[in-house]
Amino acid sequence: MPAAGRPLKEKMPALWCSGPIFVLWLASLLDFVIGDPWGWLHPVQVMGGAIRAYEQVVFNYVKSPWGQRCLGVGLGLGLPVLSGAIAIALTSGAWQLHPLLGGGVATVMLASCLAGRSLRRAADDVLLPLHAGNLPEARNRLRLYVGRDTQNLSATEILRAVMEAISENATDGVMAPLFYALVGMAITPVLGVGLAIAYKALSTLDSMVGYRSAPYTDLGWFSARLEDAATWLPCRLTVLTVALLAGQPGRVWRLCRRDAAADPSPNAGWSECAYAAALGVQLGGVNVYRGAVKQKPLLGEPLRPITAGLIAQGLRLTRWSFLTWLVGGSLLLSLRYPPLC
């Protein structure tokens, strides 16, 4: 046992001295094996309920665009900061009760920020009825995961939609949360949990209110821009990782520079284009949203058609990218937290 009066860091048990590495790997394994079990309370559900309650108050009582924009700033800053602070407080409090409890809380919270298994589950949910020839059911399943109209999509268009979904969400659902967990843990273990949860809150805000169309034009503008800024660096690092793992960094980067800038999102276009270039397919094209036809920029080159096999390959590329960051981050964290304290 360390002597009384030694610094807190030296008193911390091995779980937290080398613990950030252990917790990261355990959380990653938890996401890979279990994911987000149906019916379990999830932080995103709590965040989503808070966002819906907030927006109802705003829309009922604040009618001016200026007022909604100001309250949008409060929402965009307040929810991530509050979510991260709660995560830090819960993890710290649990550690004070017992180190194993603190590690368990940190593991579960970090696992809830990762969506690797959720992406695989969503892809399978659509592809299984499509493979069975049940096109109407595949359309209905796809509607749960994308914003476009799905009722008239062909099998080819469904495959493109799935590929676009897994490539876009690879960044904000898998790689970016890991990035912020690693950055935070390089400073202190609980900060890694807090930053990952804060980013998850920001990503949830963007998906719920970050639209340019009414009624979220004013309320959601700040959340959308803040999420764009927070995702910019992990997105570019993801593109570089995908390019290197695909064995064609020059080609992937060239196509991303050529095509991704045409996408209105500063990050989604880059993420989708990286996967399109790595897999030799083309994404983008005509989509329909609430009956309105929208031409999305074409990303990549159509060297081969999109198939279920290529979608599986794209998911494997995400897993290898995640594992690359996890191993690299663990090596760097081992310099910060030696295995023996």
Instruction: Kindly report, residue by residue over 224-266, the tens digit of the pLDDT.
Output: 999 999 999 999 999 999 999 999 999 999 999 999 999 989 9
Name the residue type at position 183.
V
First CA to last CA distance, the chain: 10
DSSP bridge partners of 296: 285
Which two three-digit tokens encode residue 207? 């998906």
Nearest of 321, 77, 89 to residue 221 by alpha carbon: 77
Bridge partners (DSSP) listed for residue 286: 295
Instruction: Output phi, psi for 41, to 5 deg.
Output: -65, 130
pLDDT in the model for residue 244: 97
Token duo for residue 60: 């009922």
pLDDT value at 313 more than 80: yes
Say which residue, 187 or 14, is predicted with more confidence: 187
Contacts of 28 (CB under 8 A, 6+ apart): 111, 114, 116, 178, 322, 326
Give the Cα separation of 85 and 217 in Å (integer). Answer: 28
Estimate to the nearest angstrom the gap between the alpha carbon of 274 and the chain centroid.
Answer: 16
Neighbouring residues of 85: CB distance < 8 A, sequence distance ≥ 6: 194
Average pLDDT, the chain: 91
- Tokens 């998850």 — which residue? 200
Contact 185, 192 (CB under 8 A): yes
**Which of 112, 196, 159, 126 lies closest to 307, judged by CA?**
159
Q: Encoding tokens for residue 130?
A: 């499509």
3-state helix, strand, coil in the chain (%, to 5): 70, 5, 25
How much of the chain exceeds pLDDT 70, in percent?
Answer: 93
CB 62 within 8 A of CB 71: yes
Identify the pLDDT of residue 13: 43
User: Is there a contact between 181 and 194 (Cβ–Cβ < 8 Å)?
Assistant: no
Measured CA to CA, the distance from residue 36 to residue 20 in angstroms comes to: 22
Q: Quote the pLDDT of residue 36.
A: 74
**Ranges of each domain in the chain:** 13-336
Residue carrying the six token digits 């790689």: 175
pLDDT-based confidence at residue 30 (cuts at 50, 70, 90):
very high
Residue 9: pLDDT band with limits 50, 70, 90: very low
The reported pTM is 0.91
Average pLDDT over residues 169-198: 96
